[in-house]
Amino acid sequence: MGLTPEPNKDEEVVGDLSFDPKGMLDADDGAVLTRLAQLVDAVDPVPSDLVERSLFAITLAGLEADLMEAAYLDAPLAGVRGAAAAARADDTAPAEAKTITFTHDSLTVMISLSPSTGGRVRIDGWAAPAAGLDVELHRPGADVVTVASDEDGRFSFDSVERGRASLVVRRTDGGGGAVSTPVIEL
């Protein structure tokens, strides 16, 4: 009796359903993995525009701007705007402002996205420390739009078409390198 293999020992299980790295999977192994791949994708699908955003980010990589890190701060707003947060589920409610903070070394840029007319988006931004900054808005297939920050570090784009976009921030005096936000979906 003492020699009876423990059924849950790895080696014993493998003995029965061994996978030889150089061998072939049996048909059920392959089918289970294929099904699993479909479930993995269905349970946590890749965001639909992630590929397009990545492709646009690659085209901006030539700008030699350091990537800023983003923190998405829509969670604190959700408590204040319960109804809007609830409406978010249907994805058709652009009424809620979204705030994103980007950081790189000592520079912090916060932007707030809110609806503009005609389904477009207004971007209000604030950079700290408040040096003179040029802020470029890059969008796929569109000309770059540049605005300057005011003395308090504020800047805005009044009416921007929805879609993928990235901001590139440069100091007006040419000091320091350029930094860019990740490509975001407006």
Residues of this chain that bind other proteins (CB under 8 A):
10, 13-14, 16-22, 25, 27-44, 46-47, 50-51, 53-55, 57-58, 60-61, 67, 69-72, 75, 182-183
Q: How far is the CB of 82 from other proteins (least distance, A)?
A: 14
Q: Which is nearer to other proteins, 39 or 128 (CB)?
A: 39
Residue with token string 């490509």: 183
Yes or no: say if 165 and 137 are a contact pair by the CB < 8 Å rule.
yes
Among candidate residues 34, 111, 31, 25, the one with its CA nearest the CA of residue 71: 111
d(CA 51, CA 103): 23
Q: Which is nearer to other proteins, 30 or 177 (CB)?
A: 30
Among candidate residues 174, 167, 171, the one with its CA nearest the CA of residue 60: 167
Q: How far is the CB of 16 from other proteins (least distance, A)?
A: 7
Q: Which is nearer to other proteins, 60 or 133 (CB)?
A: 60
Q: How far is the CB of 173 from other proteins (least distance, A)?
A: 26
Q: How far is the CB of 103 from other proteins (least distance, A)?
A: 10
Q: Which is nearer to other proteins, 41 or 158 (CB)?
A: 41
Number of Cα atoms under 13 Å in the Cβ half of residue 34: 7
Name the phi and psi angles at 140, rounded to 5: -60, 130
Among candidate residues 108, 99, 74, the one with its CA nearest the CA of residue 88: 74
